[in-house]
């Protein structure tokens, strides 16, 4: 039986590769319950000509308010890592596995909550449409949630990161790495720098896969 709170996004996804139409349609999506509390759908940034598709977990508080993905500290770290990896920002299409912010309200604050598997499954039709539209050379999964969404199975970032992977129904190469927010959470300065360097190394693998 279909969960009425999570019917899935398929009925809202138009049969088009036009990103503008996809973004407009996504604003009306009611594929899971998250739209009720989120400010808005946060779809993506980037163009159909992008060689790289970077998939994160979900929008955060700032992204939910602004309607753009990766505009906070994690996005700034991602931009720096892309530059160090030799990937031009304009070559990167950035999106999330889940398009609405899932959070717990504590007083005036909205605290991030990891998306449920049901949210990931409900939102997958949008990710499929984005892959059909952009047709990137390589897909980079930023964290375990993104890995699960793209690969269709539980993903162990520590064991699988930085290795070229594949998934049924996806023609592109896939690389799993950590989410940039995980790098930011490392408190020790030396360990954080090492985590950032490892993140950059994983992006280099993606760049090498995409090389003609």
Average pLDDT rounded to a whole number, residues 37-54: 97
Q: For 90-103, how does the pLDDT look when each residue is reduced to its tens digit (9 = 90+)?
A: 999 999 999 999 99
What are 178-207's pLDDT values in tens digits?
999 999 999 999 999 999 999 999 999 999
Residue 166 main-chain phi, psi, to 5 deg: -140, 165
The domains of the chain are located at 17-210
pLDDT confidence of residue 2? 55
Average pLDDT, the chain: 95
Tens of pLDDT, residue by residue over 10-28, are 999 999 999 999 999 999 9
Quote the tokens at residue 67.
Answer: 């309607």
The single residue listed with the structure tokens 């279909």 is: 2
Residues 136-153 have a mean pLDDT of 98
How does pLDDT run across 160-183, given as a tens digit for each residue?
999 999 999 999 999 999 999 999
Determine the Cα–Cα distance for residues 5 and 27; give it in Å rounded to an integer: 17
Extract the tokens encoding 79.
Answer: 């931009």
Mean pLDDT for 105-117 is 94
Distance from C-alpha of 99 to C-alpha of 31, rounded to nearest angstrom: 10
Instruction: Report the C-alpha gap between 79 and 171 in whole angstroms.
Output: 26
Provide mean pLDDT across the span 113-128. Answer: 97
Rounded CA-CA distance 204/81 in Å is 10
Residue 96, strand partner residues: 56
Q: Is 1's pLDDT higher than 50?
A: no
> Tell me, what's the pLDDT at 6?
72
Alpha-carbon 107 to chain mean position: 28
**The CATH number of the domain covering residues in 17-210:** 3.40.470.10
State the SS3 of 115-167: CCHHHHHHHHHHHHHHHHHHCCCEEEEECHHHHHHHHCCCCCHHHHCCCCEEE
Helix (H) or strand (E) holding 78, with range, is helix 73-84
């Amino acid at each position: 039986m279909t969960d009425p709170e999570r019917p899935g996004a398929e009925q809202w996804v138009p049969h088009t590769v036009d990103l503008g139409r996809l973004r407009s349609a996504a604003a009306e999506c009611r594929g899971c319950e998250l739209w009720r509390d989120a400010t808005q759908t946060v779809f993506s940034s980037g163009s159909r000509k992008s060689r790289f598709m970077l998939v994160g977990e979900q929008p955060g508080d700032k992204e939910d308010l602004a309607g753009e993905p990766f505009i906070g500290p994690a996005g700034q770290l991602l931009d720096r890592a892309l530059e160090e990896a030799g990937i031009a920002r304009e070559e990167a299409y950035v999106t999330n596995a889940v398009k609405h912010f899932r959070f717990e309200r504590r007083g005036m604050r909205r605290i991030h909550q990891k998306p449920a598997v049901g949210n990931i499954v409900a939102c997958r039709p949008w990710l499929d449409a984005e892959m059909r539209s952009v047709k990137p050379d390589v897909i980079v999964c930023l964290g375990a949630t993104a890995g699960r969404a793209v690969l269709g199975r539980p993903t162990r970032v520590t064991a699988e990161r930085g290795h070229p992977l594949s998934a049924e129904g996806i023609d592109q190469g896939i690389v799993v790495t950590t989410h940039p927010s995980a790098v930011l959470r490392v408190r020790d300065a030396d360990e954080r720098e090492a985590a950032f360097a490892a993140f950059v190394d994983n992006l280099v693998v993606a760049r090498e896969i995409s090389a003609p």
